[in-house]
């Protein structure tokens, strides 16, 4: 029986994997992956995020070698793994859809870009009525992370003709001006969510629920907003909300659509193809940008609070 095992690897393990599988790489690489390779009857895919996926009859044997290597190289770090059989059971237990919320008139909000060194943060609130549900299901609305960029570019123009939404695009220049020891990423997210929700709830009156994908416990979320006027409070917080509420799913993929467009524009303006995420390939491109435009360019196009900035500076200085 085929098994899928996922292992989260650190940077040093990732580099060893890249070298080890150099001769076994497949010619085609999936989106966001560094490589895909064959290891006997197992297919190994290493993603930029550091997620290594082992799929095949002997996936457990192939994965075990890298689990042990991760432990050896990073003894103080907890090894994170998942097994497809266990995960499937867990997912079924976790994702419980409440029909009262799913089949209601709802406003949902979600964000993208918070894990990307390059590209803006986009937060969107979206309004979905009961009448919109069948249309959205028919065109395949899901969590943006489960849809390809091509699919998002195809379906979002259809969605935005049908539903009301409000988006905020926070450039990295603005992010860098706001970010400090007192204002972290989650606080920025809370402020932006509050803005898009206030805007849409002022415009739309016939809604039953306002749902936010839970990135912080409710008391923490509202604590972030303690100095903000006009805090919207009637929120239902949910984990995995994109799977449980179509307005959140719409907010997620509209945010992703805008992010893709902005990201492409940024790449075009720089004349350099930018990678998404915050991997070592991002560092390499960061070095090229600094050599071409100077270190100050990062303040404009990157989230300089990320560790990538220090790694880029180290590479430049070495």
Torsion of CA 255, 261, 262, 266, to 10 degrees: 150
Q: Which range, of 73-87, 98-112, 217-231, 289-303, averages the lowest pLDDT?
A: 73-87
Average pLDDT over residues 181-188: 86
What is the phi/psi pair of residue 143, to 5°?
-55, 130
Residue 133 has pLDDT above 90, yes or no: yes
pLDDT for 58 equals 78
Average pLDDT over residues 155-162: 96
Helix (H) or strand (E) holding 66: helix 59-73
Q: Where are the domains of the chain?
A: 3-94, 99-265, 271-317
Which fold does the domain 3-94 belong to in CATH? TATA-Binding Protein (3.30.310)
What does the pLDDT look like over 221-234, one tens digit per residue?
A: 999 999 999 999 99
Q: What is the CATH number of domain 99-265?
A: 3.30.420.10
pLDDT for 109 equals 97
Average pLDDT over residues 127-139: 95
Question: pLDDT grade, residue 90 (50/70/90)?
Answer: low
Instruction: Write down the mean pLDDT value for the chain.
Output: 91
CA distance 63 to 163: 45
* Two domains, one topology: 3-94 and 99-265: no
Q: Which residues contact 122 (CB under 8 A, 6 or more apart)?
A: 111, 112, 113, 167, 168, 169, 170, 255, 256, 258, 259, 262
Encoded tokens for 126: 């979206």
Average pLDDT over residues 182-207: 94
What does the pLDDT look like over 230-251, one tens digit per residue?
A: 999 999 999 889 989 999 999 9
Residue 182 has pLDDT above 90, yes or no: no
pLDDT for 87 equals 55
Beta strand spans in 227-313 (E): 236-238
């Amino acid at each position: 029986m085929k098994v899928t095992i996922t292992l989260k690897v650190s940077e040093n393990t990732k580099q060893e994997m890249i070298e080890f599988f150099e001769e076994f790489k497949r010619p085609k690489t999936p989106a966001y992956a560094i490589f895909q390779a064959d290891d006997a009857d197992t297919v190994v895919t290493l993603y930029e995020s550091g997620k290594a996926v082992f799929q095949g009859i002997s996936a457990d044997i192939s994965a075990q070698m890298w689990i042990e290597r991760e432990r050896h190289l990073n003894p103080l770090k907890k090894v994170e793994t998942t097994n497809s059989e266990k995960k499937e059971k867990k997912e079924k237990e976790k994702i419980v859809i409440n029909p009262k919320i799913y089949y209601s008139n709802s406003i949902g909000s979600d964000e993208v870009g918070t894990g990307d060194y390059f590209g803006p943060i986009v937060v969107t609130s979206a309004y979905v009525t009961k009448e919109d549900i069948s249309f959205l299901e028919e065109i395949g609305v899901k969590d943006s992370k489960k849809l390809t960029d091509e699919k998002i570019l195809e379906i979002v123009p259809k969605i935005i003709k049908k539903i009301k939404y409000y988006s905020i695009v926070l450039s990295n220049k603005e992010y860098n001006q706001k970010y400090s020891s007192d204002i972290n990423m989650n606080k920025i997210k809370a402020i932006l969510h509050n803005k898009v929700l206030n805007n849409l709830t002022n415009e739309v009156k016939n809604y039953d629920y306002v749902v936010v994908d839970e990135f912080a416990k409710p008391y923490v979320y509202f604590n972030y907003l303690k100095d903000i006027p006009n805090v919207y409070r009637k929120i239902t917080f949910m984990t995995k909300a994109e799977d449980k509420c179509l307005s959140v799913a719409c907010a997620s993929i509209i945010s992703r659509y805008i992010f893709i467009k902005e990201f492409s524009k940024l790449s075009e303006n720089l004349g350099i193809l930018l990678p998404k995420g915050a991997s070592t390939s991002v560092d390499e491109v960061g070095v090229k940008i600094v050599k071409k435009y100077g270190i100050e360019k990062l303040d404009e196009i990157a989230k300089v609070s990320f560790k990538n900035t220090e790694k880029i500076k180290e590479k430049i200085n070495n």
